[in-house]
Chain A
Amino acid sequence: MADLTPVVSLDNVTVEYGRNRALNGVTASFTPGAVGLLGPNGAGKSTMIKSLLGFIVPRQGQMRVLGLDVAVSPVEIRARIGYMPENDAHIPGLTAVQFVSYCGELAGLPRADATQRAHEVLYYVGLGEARYRNVETYSTGMKQRIKLAQALVHDPDLLFLDEPTNGMDPKGRDEMLELVRDLAHNKGVNLILSSHLLPDVEYTCDHVVVMDKGRIAAAGPIEALKQPRGRVYELRVKTPGELEAFFDHLRAAGLECHSTDDDVVRVFVPGEGGARRLFALAAESRVQVRHLRPSVPTLEDVFAHAVGED
């Protein structure tokens, strides 16, 4: 049976930048495997990762990474994790292989092993042919890959990936996501992927933690979160002009409804018997339903619901 001891746990963690509260009493745990840390910009994702790395000291709360207390053993933790920062980051004046090998040595690997692994990891991330080039001459996509390589060179038990597809073209983005997915699902590397891009998280991760305004808005396995506590229906009515009154009636009955870009309305009906209930409410409003079908929930629905977006 798989070990489900959390690789990361936070207990009532609060981080403040001056008067701005970036994390507000966050309590969360991250299971082994691939976990997405999802949220809009400014939700506190990067702050959480930097706190877990020991870069930022929280005002209150306790954090544990791989069973170790961040406040007590930050160096021991950093020996076992890999971090891919969000923005451009490299050590100036070095070629790719020197840079990655140096990072391996800094993480404690003997020089020969670090050099060997640097070559291997650079091939793995797709920079094998460019490994003798100075990192400063790399394109944005290549810089993203080298950041992944330096995070992987010492074979960490846990990877923090902060917006790994930032600034990449569609092809490079797909390749990066394929690498992340391969690491998580085929190579057994635990990872936490911070992103505001839902498809990235949905493609690579099994679990998700949704953040909003410094708080945890939702957390759990993606498949479970996508299981509605009711059902979402898409419907179209005969006369769009009647829609507002119908909306009011649906809301009064405790249903959530949102119009989409088309003339389709998405209605969330809690509990069982959703279609029958919708038809009954439509009849009460004297609205003719022309189209009704159950909608397949997406991570976008989960995210929108968690952060309170329409």
Chain B
Amino acid sequence: MPIHDQGYRHYGGSRARGRAWVVMFTTGVRTILGNRRWIMLMVAAWVPFLVRAVLFYIGSNFSQAAIIAPSAAAFRDFLGWQNLFVFLVTITLGAGAIAQDRRANALQIYLSKPLTRLEYLVGKLSVLMAFLLFITWLPSILLLVLQVLFAGNFTFLKANAYLFPAITLFTFIEVLMVSMCILALSSLSTNSRFVGILYTALIFFSKALAGVLFAVTRGTSFSWISFGNNLDQLADVIYRVPPEYETPWPVSLAIVLGLIALSAVILERRVRGVEIVA
């Protein structure tokens, strides 16, 4: 008689409902944290934070270095430094998020479980957004805390009380937009490299086109053509620093929201348990 019956037996334990996206999120985070290359990328993304923290320390404690003292513009600039890492994390984590599932027919597996298409997307989105917020929102807020600690008073924080909501609002808009865009592109292909190249091309091509139009018109009223420029314009407005471009901020906001909406439509059409070719 076997010590342990290895046959099939019925399950009598508990079952939870409506937490499938949480399972996707925790599993996704665990998988990423188990990969050394991704951890190194995350660590590298915190290097600008360390540099800015040192500058804040010097600016707060040495009057000779008043020129680098903390300001709202410094917080805005910090997010500019993070753009490269936002791009890299978006490409490495986002390009294959749905493309690989489509390649392996995993959507049939996911959607045969008790989760909706929306929950699937929330699960995918939450992993990407969590890591992007980890390199944008979290270091920005920590810088704010460090500024208070270095200065030993709340004077700066009181004078710039809008910074906390500004950081939160802008990083959320930025992270949501890039996450939705890369997921939408990822849902269009089964090849994550192709998705990464397509995303890179869209970012740099739109930026280059805006640059060409700047050279032709000697003005920045066409800056809205670039996805990145729209985010920069919104950041300037939200952080209350002089806008870099002539494009009205509502136009930039409309384009950002439009991209999110377009991505949502693509995802709604592409994330299905069965692909129907009529």
A interface residues (Cβ-Cβ under 8 A, vs B): 17-20, 50, 53-56, 75-76, 78-79, 81-83, 85, 87-93, 102-103, 105-110, 113, 117, 120-121, 123-124, 128, 136, 150-152, 154-155, 182-183, 187-189
**Bound: A225/B167 CA distance, A:** 71
Question: Which residue from chain A places its CB closest to the CB of B19 in the assembled complex?
Answer: A108
Min C-beta distance of B139 to chain A, whole Å = 28
Q: How far is the CB of B278 from chain A (nearest CB, A)?
A: 3
Q: Is the CB of A108 within 8 A of B15?
A: yes
B23–A102 CB distance below 8 A? yes
Shortest Cβ gap from B178 to chain A (Å): 22
- B residues within 8 A CB of A128? 6
B200 on the A face (CB < 8 A): no
Judged by DSSP, the binding face of B is loop
12 sample A-B contacts, Cβ–Cβ < 8 Å, listed by A number: A19-B278, A54-B273, A56-B276, A75-B17, A75-B114, A76-B114, A81-B112, A82-B112, A88-B105, A108-B114, A120-B6, A182-B8
Best-buried of B16, B23, B24, B110 by chain A (most CB within 10 Å): B23
| CB pair B109 A150 closer than 8 Å | yes
By the criterion CB–CB under 8 Å, are B19 and A187 in contact?
A: no
User: Using Cβ atoms and an 8 Å threshold, which residues of chain A touch B15?
Assistant: 79, 107-109, 154
Greatest chain B CB density within 10 A among A92, A136, A151, A183 is at A92
- Give which listed residue, B8, B14, B31, contacts A124 with CB less than 8 A: B8
> What residues of chain B have their CB less than 8 Å away from a CB belonging to chain A?
6-11, 13-17, 19-20, 23-24, 27, 31, 100-101, 103-106, 108-116, 272-274, 276-278
Q: A75 contacts B116, CB within 8 Å?
A: yes
- Complexed CA–CA distance, A82 and B10 (Å): 14
**Closest residue on chain A to residue B35 by CB atoms:** A93
Contact of B101 among A92, A113, A150 (CB under 8 A): A92
Q: Is B105 a contact of A87 with CB atoms below 8 Å?
A: yes
Quick check: B11 and A108 within 8 Å, CB to CB? no
Residues of B within 8 A of A113 (CB): 11, 13-14
How far is A54 from B272 in the complex, measured between Cα atoms in Å? Answer: 10
Chain A neighbourhood of B108, CB < 8 A: 55, 83, 85, 89
Which chain B residues border A90 with CB–CB below 8 Å? 104-106, 109
CA distance A89 to B111 in the complex (A): 12
Whether the Cβ atoms of A17 and B278 lie closer than 8 Å is yes
**Which residues from B are CB-within-8-Å of A182?**
8
Q: A55-B274, A92-B104, A120-B6 are in contact. Are A78 and B13 (CB under 8 A)?
A: no
By a CB distance below 8 angstroms, the chain A residues around B112 are 53, 78, 81-83, 85, 151
CB-CB under 8 A for A75 and B115, given A55-B272, A85-B108, A90-B109 = yes
